[in-house]
Amino acid sequence: MQFATRLDNVETSAIRELFKLLGKPGIISFAGGFPDSAMFDVEGLKEASAKALAEEPGGALQYGATEGYDPLRAQLSAFMKGKGVEVAPDGLIVTTGSQQALDLLGKTLISPGDKVIVEGPTFLATIQCFRLYGAELISAPIDAEGVQVDRLEQLIAEHKPKFVYLIPTFGNPSGAMLNLERRRKVLELAVKYGTVIVEDDPYGDLYFGKAPPPSIMSLTAEVPGSRELVVHCGSLSKVLSPGLRIGWMIAPPELLAKATMCKQFSDAHTSTFAQATAAQYLKSGRMPGTLAHVRKVYAERAAAMGAALKRELGDAIAFTQPGGGLFFWARLTGANGKLADANVLAKRAIEKGVAFVPGAPFFAEKPDLATLRLSFATANVEKIEEGIARLGAAL
């Protein structure tokens, strides 16, 4: 058989290879990018699915509209309103996880050779998803305050990208949070250059102290002409359950209609069974309690990891304590002649019984080999302390 050459643009993930080693007994893993299963509200979801099947078996089990199940679209509209975004139920479509929103953006917007600006570093599956459609990715540098907007402007002016993709709030892998001033500037750039901004926001609800600045989408209300240039992708995966595969996309009407057409031929519609369950869950009023719980637990774990990294690795590692999300993004400094190559450290760490992901694959261009991503989501405080001690020993 012959295969389309577009697959040749996608590297076999280095991370896949690493993950094969995770089966080794006793490994403490900071490598995953997923929430802790122990935090799923199983009871709440059990009630929600039973109620969906009892009250609306037709809706939950029959084919549904490609745009999404109306009761869920109404709940998501209310959920977004609680986060400062005014969007009518028909101003969003339900996607099969926010991964599908990325895929639909690629399918709808990217022609081979088109340029797309992403953060350097950015979400690995985004890089691969957009490349599959033939995009050339340009990296805009970031710091702990998110994307550097002056550099972003230069890149937009130079490359005239099809769109700019950002994870502005507790990004994966960066953990960075785009500050308010930069958020406004991003919108001004969108209007100035007529550039579409895609805001991917799976982590915004997972803040530890005070809430992050308003989303880029909610700030469009302050910047005339910007709303029609912003796409916002949301997800229940990190806050409720990835297994439901419920994401959503808010976008200008024309783009939403084209994305819906693409979705029709991608999977017809997202599982109505999962959609009806999610709608009942949101309606049940349990979500605020669930969010408060996960925020508290992840905040403790993040605090423990930060303290342990300082204690065990000292000035051999540099990082900014994340204010939310699931990740520490760190850089080996090479201080005192210590190792500064995260790929080498990853192998040594596995031998010592701890795993993390080297940062290189998260860069669409010029990888920084000294960087690494550590997730604090799935290990408890005790394991985090033990794991970071092992990491110190490996270094």
Closer by beta carbon to a second copy, 123 or else 319: 123
d(CA 284, CA 346): 44
How far is the CA of 359 from the CAs of 229, 284, 320, 368, in angstroms?
Answer: 31, 40, 15, 7
Judged by DSSP in three states, 318 sits in strand
Closer by beta carbon to a second copy, 103 or else 205: 103
Provide the minimum distance between the beta carbon of 63 and a second copy in the complex, in angstroms, as a whole number.
Answer: 4
Of 181, 188, 190, the C-alpha closest to 161 is 190
Residue 291: DSSP 8-state: H
Closer by beta carbon to a second copy, 2 or else 336: 2
d(CA 367, CA 384): 27
Provide the minimum distance between the beta carbon of 151 and a second copy in the complex, in angstroms, as a whole number.
Answer: 24
d(CA 108, CA 257): 10
Closer by beta carbon to a second copy, 4 or else 23: 4
d(CA 83, CA 20): 39
136 φ/ψ sector (left φ>0, alpha ψ -120 to 50, else beta): beta
Provide the minimum distance between the beta carbon of 337 and a second copy in the complex, in angstroms, as a whole number.
Answer: 39
Closer by beta carbon to a second copy, 132 or else 393: 132
Provide the minimum distance between the beta carbon of 286 and a second copy in the complex, in angstroms, as a whole number.
Answer: 14
Provide the minimum distance between the beta carbon of 157 and a second copy in the complex, in angstroms, as a whole number.
Answer: 18
Provide the minimum distance between the beta carbon of 163 and a second copy in the complex, in angstroms, as a whole number.
Answer: 9
Contact (Cβ atoms closer than 8 angstroms) between residue 297 and residue 378: no
d(CA 230, CA 103): 17
Closer by beta carbon to a second copy, 69 or else 170: 69
Provide the minimum distance between the beta carbon of 144 and a second copy in the complex, in angstroms, as a whole number.
Answer: 27
Residue 121: cis peptide before it, omega within 30 degrees of 0: yes
Provide the minimum distance between the beta carbon of 378 and a second copy in the complex, in angstroms, as a whole number.
Answer: 10
How far is the CA of 231 from the CAs of 118, 196, 215, in angstroms?
Answer: 14, 8, 11
- What is the four-CA torsion angle of 325, 278, 104, 98, rounded to 10 degrees? 10
Token pair, residue 87, equals 């969007």
Closer by beta carbon to a second copy, 127 or else 176: 127
Question: Which residues are registered as beta bridge partners of 352?
Answer: none
Closer by beta carbon to a second copy, 82 or else 264: 264
